[in-house]
């Protein structure tokens, strides 16, 4: 909660003003029973109607002041809690984007989504509640107790005897709330994961007639969430009934004590009426405080989950830059080994190098480590052993901005967002319209773009579902080449293209980006056979490295892939 408190500090002045207004409104509310008791005790017996009306108007004025002041304070509280949660969501989202790949794997995407949505809502709701009820309830409790002690100390002692029992009951139940609601939020993560998977794969689910299966899978996580919510609700739901019971017992005790004392030592009925009114206010304040305790348990669980993400240390460390190792090679992998989980190496002892302006093809079976190799080059993950250099420098000596500026990337599972074609290619960068058109022509996308209504202003749906698979891939390649990168990575980004379009794309890239170092990850031999060097991977190991002709003669696995795809022919 300390981090959440630090987010509230900039709003301290606004909260203080709201606190003062709330106090004034609550104090005005506390005066009402006192005025009523005075009217009953001293004003009515005078028999003067104008005085009774005057005090009645005073009660109306106090009630109106309490209403207006509380409304103003509540509006200020709503603005503070909205601005506060907006800052928390902004920083949480920003931190989520900067998390290392390992940290993202630890948290999982569904969990990060629920932290940005439901967890921030819980914190937002509690901050607003604290500014409304958290100020009013204690004032009513303390003010009511003080006034009742002044009116009749004996009757007030009845309430004082009950309060410790209430506090102990609330505390003992509330302390169990944080772990319960933490478990609920984990179940929310599981439900978000299933919903996310099913919405993204809705077409596949329908095509394979697995709707009933997915409904059963969702029902399972929904039942788990419902069970956890029910368990938390049952435990936390004890607070209100117990407090109501104790407060009602207190009221009964006050009435009984009043009746007993009036028989033995007559006291003013007006005091009893005022006392019961104050007792009602105190009861309402205690119920409000019980709601605060319940909400606090949710907030504490959610705040902890938010803080886990925001306080996650940046794992992108920049090492000290030593002497540049100029071997004439531009990209070098030297004895690189890597494991995602630290159990079995996903890449083992990978070594190769290419010069600037050359092209590297990476090919291998599914799961051979092709995409992992690209992730290491982009430094999404740090190597466990070995070294990767770009331009003679270890990539760990580059800042994040320096490193990413070198690359243009079209990844295997890349995305398009709901905006125009031009903005999807520009992607928030300072790229002119001329460069956007140039990139589209290189990617063989210009022709189909201008055929769309509005051309480059044609608006794509989310994930580009109003384009074909091949068209989406060409838009993504255009995005990758638009900024004229030093290194262009195409990670299986032409798999949806026919052979003719794929050949035209490779030819266009080769002719237009002569100084760019090209890395092509593909399943097709035809997509990599024209590369300067080809790296063949199998289960995380290099089993072949060289030109297409060299590998046909010296790498049985590559020759087998080539024969199965092209019948041994060298097609152009």
Q: What pLDDT shows up at residue 572?
A: 41
pLDDT band at 324 (very low <50, low <70, confident <90, very high): low
Compute the mean pLDDT over every residue in the chain, rounded to the nearest whole number: 83
| pLDDT score at 266 | 58
Location of structure tokens 């009757």? 155
Domain boundaries, the chain: 2-310, 320-406+485-572, 416-481
CATH code assigned to 2-310:
1.20.1560.10
Same CATH topology for 2-310 and 320-406+485-572? no
Q: Round to whole Å and give the CA distance between 430 and 423.
A: 11
What share of the chain has pLDDT > 90, as a percent? 18
Confidence bin at 298 (pLDDT 50/70/90):
confident
**Phi and psi dihedrals of 568, rounded to 5?**
85, -5
The pLDDT tens digits of the residues spanning 223-254 come to 888 888 888 878 777 777 777 787 777 777 77
Cβ atoms of 270 and 98 within 8 Å: the answer is no
DSSP, collapsed to helix, strand or coil, labels residue 440 as helix
Q: What strand order describes the sheet that includes 517-522? A: 407-410, 487-491, 517-522, 359-364, 533-538, 541-546
Pick the CATH number of 320-406+485-572 from 3.40.50.280, 2.60.40.10, 3.40.50.1000, 3.40.50.300: 3.40.50.300
**What's the residue count for the chain?**
572
Residue 529 pLDDT more than 70?
A: yes
Find, among 247, 3, 18, the residue nearest to 141 by Cα.
247
pLDDT category of residue 571 using cuts at 50, 70 and 90: very low
> At 569, is the pLDDT very low, low, confident or very high (cuts 50, 70, 90)?
very low
Whole-Å CA distances, 256 to 250, 408, 414, 465: 10, 82, 74, 74
Taking the C-alpha atoms of residue 359 and residue 487, their distance in angstroms, rounded to an integer, is: 10
Rank 124-128, 283-287, 512-516 by mean pLDDT and report only the highest: 124-128
Among candidates 66, 76, 69, which has minimal Cα distance to 28? 66
Provide the β-strand partners of residue 390. 331, 393
* pTM of the predicted protein model: 0.73
Cα dist from 180 to 167, 183, 185, whole Å: 20, 5, 9
Q: How far apart, in whole angstroms, are the C-alpha atoms of residue 303 and residue 236? A: 19
Q: Which two tokens stand for residue 359?
A: 């092209």
Among residues 442, 500, 513, the alpha carbon closest in space to that of 475 is found at: 442
Mean pLDDT across the stretch 545-556? 90
- Three-class SS of 49-70: HHHHHHHHHHHHHHHHHHHHHH
Higher-pLDDT residue of 460 and 288 is 460
Separation between Cα atoms, residue 482 and residue 22, nearest integer Å: 57
Question: What are the pLDDT digits (tens) for 300-322?
Answer: 888 988 999 999 888 778 887 76
Sign of CA dihedral 529, 531, 532, 534: negative
Dihedral sign of CA atoms 10, 12, 13, 17 in order: positive
Beta bridge partners of 389: 332, 394
Q: Give the pLDDT score at 261.
A: 67
């Amino acid at each position: 909660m300390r981090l959440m408190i630090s987010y509230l500090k900039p709003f301290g002045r606004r909260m203080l003003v709201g606190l003062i207004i709330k106090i004034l409104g609550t104090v005005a509310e506390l005066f009402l029973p006192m005025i009523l008791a005075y009217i009953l005790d001293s004003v009515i017996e005078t028999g003067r109607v104008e005085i009774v009306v005057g005090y009645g108007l005073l009660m109306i004025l106090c009630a109106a002041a309490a209403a207006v002041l509380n409304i103003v304070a509540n509006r200020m509280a709503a603005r503070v809690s909205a601005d506060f949660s907006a800052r928390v969501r902004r920083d949480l989202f920003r931190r989520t984007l900067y998390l290392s790949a390992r940290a993202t794997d630890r948290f999982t995407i569904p969990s990060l989504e629920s932290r940005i949505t439901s967890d921030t809502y819980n914190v937002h709701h509690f901050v607003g509640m604290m500014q409304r009820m958290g100020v009013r309830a204690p004032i009513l409790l303390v003010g009511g107790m003080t006034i009742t002690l002044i009116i009749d100390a004996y009757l007030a002692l009845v309430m004082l005897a009950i309060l410790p029992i209430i506090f102990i009951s609330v505390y003992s139940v509330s302390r169990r709330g944080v772990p319960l609601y933490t478990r609920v939020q984990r179940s929310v993560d599981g439900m978000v994961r299933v919903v996310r998977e099913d919405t993204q794969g809705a077409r596949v689910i329908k095509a394979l007639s697995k709707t009933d299966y997915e409904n059963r899978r969702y029902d399972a996580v929904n039942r788990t969430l419902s069970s956890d919510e029910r368990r938390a609700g049952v435990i936390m739901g004890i607070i209100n009934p117990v407090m109501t019971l104790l407060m009602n017992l207190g009221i009964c005790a006050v009435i009984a004590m009043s009746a007993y004392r009036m028989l033995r030592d007559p006291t003013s009925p007006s005091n009893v009426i005022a006392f019961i009114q104050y007792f009602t206010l105190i009861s309402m304040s205690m119920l409000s405080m019980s709601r605060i305790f319940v909400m606090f348990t949710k907030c504490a669980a959610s705040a902890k989950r938010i803080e886990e993400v925001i306080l996650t240390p940046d794992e992108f460390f920049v090492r000290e830059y030593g002497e540049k190792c100029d071997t004439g090679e531009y990209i070098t992998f030297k004895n690189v080994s890597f494991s995602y989980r630290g159990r079995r190496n996903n890449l083992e002892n990978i070594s190769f190098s290419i010069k600037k302006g050359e092209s590297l093809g990476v090919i291998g079976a599914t799961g051979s480590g092709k995409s992992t190799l690209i992730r290491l080059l982009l430094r999404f993950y740090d190597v466990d052993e070995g070294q990767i250099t770009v331009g003679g420098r270890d990539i760990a000596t580059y800042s994040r901005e320096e490193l990413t500026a070198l690359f243009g990337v079209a990844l295997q599972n890349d995305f398009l967002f709901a905006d125009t074609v031009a903005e999807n290619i520009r992607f928030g960068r300072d790229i002119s319209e001329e460069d956007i058109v140039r990139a589209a022509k290189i990617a063989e996308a210009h022709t189909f773009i201008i055929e769309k209504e509005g051309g480059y202003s044609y608006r794509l749906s989310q994930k580009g579902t109003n384009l074909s698979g091949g068209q989406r891939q060409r838009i993504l390649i255009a995005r990758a080449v638009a900024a004229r990168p030093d290194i262009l990575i195409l990670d299986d980004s032409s798999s949806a293209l026919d052979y003719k379009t794929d050949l035209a794309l490779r030819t266009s890239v080769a002719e237009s980006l002569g100084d760019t170092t090209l890395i092509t990850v593909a399943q097709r031999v035809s997509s990599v056979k024209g590369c300067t060097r080809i790296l063949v991977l199998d289960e995380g190991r290099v089993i072949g490295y060289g030109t297409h002709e060299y590998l046909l003669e010296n790498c049985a696995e590559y020759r087998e892939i080539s024969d199965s795809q092209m019948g041994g022919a060298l097609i152009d």
